[in-house]
Structure 1
Amino acid sequence: MSATAPRLVRLGNAVAVPVTRRGMTYAWSVTALVMVLAVATLSLGDLGVPLDHLPRALTGGADGAEAFVLERLRGPRLVVAVTAGAALAVSGSLFQTVTRNPLASPDVIGLTAGAGAGAAAASVFWSGAVPVPVGAVAGAVSAAMLVHLSTGRGFSSPSHVIIAGIGVAAMALALIQYVVLVGMRDQSTALAGYLAGSLSARSWQHAALVGAALLVLLPAAALMGQRLRLIEMGDELADALGGEAHRTRFWSLVVAIALAAAAVAVAGPISFVSLTAPQVAKRITRAPGAAVLSTALTGSLILVVADLAAQQAPVVRDLPVGILTAGVGGLYLGFLLVREWKKGTL
């Protein structure tokens, strides 16, 4: 098998996954790098678990301060970084694939801002009655529907999607600011940190929520992989080959919205992971379609790196991780806008 020639790996009769040597090398390399960074996250700093204690601590032998670090401080935070990064990345990949638009990520179209607004409203106005994850899902769905309706052309026009997304994100931000202002002081302080996109004070309940979403939704994304590859060639050809473009697009967007909402519910609206991770994975692996595995691993890597920097790097220490991803992702968005403008697609 050559580096770029795909080989189909079949999982029963329903799923045929194209695998390339380049893609597998990339997946294993990123997995190893994430594991190294995970060890660094758990062991660095004054509160870190010493490396020679880490194997025993991870196998249930931790006690005292080491148990507190693993079970309360850094363990849940690390798992949330890995899972939320994967969820955001696959969500962005699905959006970009079904719209054939590299700019159509949940960040750009205002979906994550809408999820943040829904979560904010649920946490302050309907606390106890509406769970925050439900509010995040409702906000994400509302934002996606507004963008789809306001463009007049769905998600097919990059320029219309960007303009509509800016408007929807602005409305969501206005709602968030209103919620922060009218909320009680303690609630608003905690909410402000969440809305910046933060992994601090995460618990195993947060990790379980986004982990459960991945267990259900990643296989769903993989099941649609073959049809998504057909959609990249155009709706007419996809329909002729049995891809059912409209139905596949609808269910792909449902999965994408659910993944983004799950990530936002536990970590806040972390920006630009969903925009950059699919592009990085696709450029390196040269894989067709959504490339679910490599994209998920790339998203995990980006968020784990950002969180490690937020914990240990002197200049950005203790900043919400969403600020770091927004800084880097904003530059990448600028690059994409210039490239698409030069190509005449905007």
Structure 2
Amino acid sequence: MPARTLQLGNACGLINTKMSLRVLLINGVLLTMALLLAGFALCYGSLHLSPLQVWQALHGEGARGLVTVVTQWRAPRIVMALLLGAGLGVSGAIFQSVIRNPLGSPDVVGFNTGAYTGALVTIILLNGSYYQIASGALVGGIAAAALVYLLAWRDGIAGFRLIIVGLGVAALLSAFNTWLIVTGSLESAMNAALWGAGSLNGMTWAKAQPALICIPVTLLAVLMIGKQMQLMEMGDDSARALGVNIEVSRLWLMLSGIILTAVATASTGPISFIALAAPQIARRLTRASSIPLFTAATTGALLLLAADLTAQHSFDGVQLPTGAVTVSIGGLYLIWLLIREARR
């Protein structure tokens, strides 16, 4: 029985697409869960607040201390968890779709490691400020991606070759990162270790500004060329026959994915496995033939917010870095995925 669909827009308009009712339902459920989790995060913490107190604080009413807690401490962290999770989910969807491999994640092919290298150079060698560290991470991620892309190029890009080259580059960068930490001062090494754990602790609206601008703009650009990505999943020859410029489209899609990953890493440090897991979870939930971008975004947002809440409240008196939670859960997911792919 064919899936029921809903027509969005019209054939002559700017918006012209069909969406499965199942996809719409799944997205609605995911968005509702994310909003409920965000409301819980605003209320729950070392200072417990009622929903009424939170509502009043969001409108600037009530005690000044409560307003500060809700609007300046908790709200930026929650918004950034949702936004960065969405960005990482879409970034993973791009790479897995373009490479046509569920292991084709920026975590696996070394882009996160490159961003960490850029941050380490800024922290240890240049003693940079927060914005300089973020800029260094952005440059490092883009440079690592360019290196992997050039080394993997052989009259085009093959997914398996890109993954293998990415793993090799990531190993070299990891060794270089270790050397930087060992040779740096104790204070620099501690700062680098804290940043490298990947955490939303201390997030403020000022620190969030670059991501609040870059990620929505990049997500909008990806959604505009999402149709080409779906056609490329059919194979290069089929996509060319339908009028898609393969290499140009692949380059722009990968550049968008790199920017999303680098901005997220620059904002919080490396947060692994959201980009790996979110697209595949979205695909299985929607039972779609290709990875649905919007569902990957909502899944990534929900996963990162849930991981951050787990990191904050699972251990009494101890706040773990968010990256530690995502690595622990993502490692198990990666083992399962490797076993599944090996059997296939």
1:84-130 CA distance string (max 9 Å, x none): 11111111100111111111000010111111111221233232698
1:53 is paired with a residue whose SS is: helix
1:4 to partner: Cα distance: 5.2
Amino acid across the alignment from 2:242:
L
Aligned residue type for 1:118: G
**Corresponding residue of 2:106:** 106
Check 1:325–1:316 CA distance in 2 against 1; reply closer, same or farther (3 A cut).
farther
Give percent identity, aligned residues only. Answer: 36
* Equivalent in the alignment of 1:34: 34
> Which residue does 1:283 correspond to in 2?
284
Aligned to 1:84: 84
Could you tell me which residue of structure 1 aligns to residue 242 of structure 2?
241
Provide the alpha-carbon RMSD of the alignment: 2.5
Match of 2:67 in 1: 67
Comparing 334-343 with 228-237, greater Cα deviation is found at: 334-343
1:330, distance to aligned residue in structure 2 (A): 1.2
Structure 1 position 284, deviation (Å): 0.9
Using the alignment, how far apart are the partners of 2:2 and 2:120 within structure 1?
Answer: 50
What is the SS of the residue equivalent to 2:51? coil
Deviates more, 1:312-321 or 1:46-55: 312-321
Q: 1:45 maps to which residue?
A: 45
CA distance in 1, matches of 2:11, 2:326: 35
Deviation, structure 1 residue 40? 1.3
- C-alpha distance in 1, partners of 2:337/2:6? 27
Structure 1 stretch 259-268 or stretch 34-43: which is displaced more?
34-43
The 2-side partners of 1:115 and 1:16 are apart by 37
Q: Is the 8 A contact 2:107 2:272 kept in 1?
A: yes
Listed as ranges, the gaps of 5+ residues in structure 1 are: none
Q: How does 1:102-141 map to 2 (within 5 A)?
A: 102-126=102-126, 127=128, 131-141=132-142
Partner residue, 2:303: 302
Aligned equivalents of 1:21 and 1:319: distance in 2?
39
Aligned to 2:146: 145
CA distance in 2, matches of 1:210, 1:8: 29
Distance in 2 (CA, whole Å) between partners of 1:10 and 1:327 is: 45
1:199–1:121 distance in 2 versus 1, CA, 3 Å: same
Deviation at 1:8, TM superposition (A): 4.9
Judging changes above 3 Å, is the alpha-carbon distance between structure 1 residues 99 and 297 closer, same or farther for their aligned structure 2 residues? same
The 5 Å alignment of 1:1-346 reads 3=3, 5=5, 7-9=7-9, 13=13, 16-126=16-126, 127=128, 131-151=132-152, 153=154, 155-158=157-160, 160-314=161-315, 317-343=318-344
Alpha-carbon distance change, 69 to 190 in structure 1, aligned in 2, over 3 angstroms: farther
Q: Is the 8 A contact 1:86 1:299 kept in 2?
A: yes
Q: Secondary structure at the match of 1:335?
A: helix
Cα pair 1:218 1:292 within 8 Å, conserved: no
What is the deviation of 1:5? 4.1
Could you tell me how far 1:289 is from its partner in structure 2?
4.1
Contact 1:96-1:105 within 8 A present in 2 as well: yes
Counterpart residue type for residue 33 of structure 1: M
Supply the distance in 2 between the matched residues of 1:90 and 1:46 (Cα, whole angstroms).
Answer: 33
- After TM superposition, give the deviation of residue 256 of structure 1 in Å: 0.3
SS of the equivalent of 2:315 reads coil
Deviates more, 1:116-125 or 1:221-230: 116-125
Letter in 2 for 1:117: T
Question: Is the CA contact 2:92–2:105 (under 8 Å) kept in the aligned structure 1?
Answer: yes
Amino acid in structure 2 at the alignment position of 1:173? S
CA displacement 1:22-60 (0-9 Å, x = unmatched): 111111111111111111112113223332201111122
Query: How many residues align structurally?
Result: 342
Query: CA 1:130 to 1:121, structure 2 compared with 1: closer, same or farther past 3 Å?
Result: farther
Letter in 2 for 1:312: H
Name the CA distance, whole Å, in 1 between partners of 2:57 and 2:281.
34
CA gap of 1:187–1:73, structure 2 versus 1, over 3 A, is farther
Listed as ranges, the gaps of 5+ residues in structure 2 are none
CA–CA distance in structure 2, aligned partners of residues 99 and 215 of structure 1: 24
Distance 1:18 1:336, change over 3 A: farther
Please give the alpha-carbon distance, in whole angstroms, between the structure 1 residues aligned to 2:313 and 2:178. 30
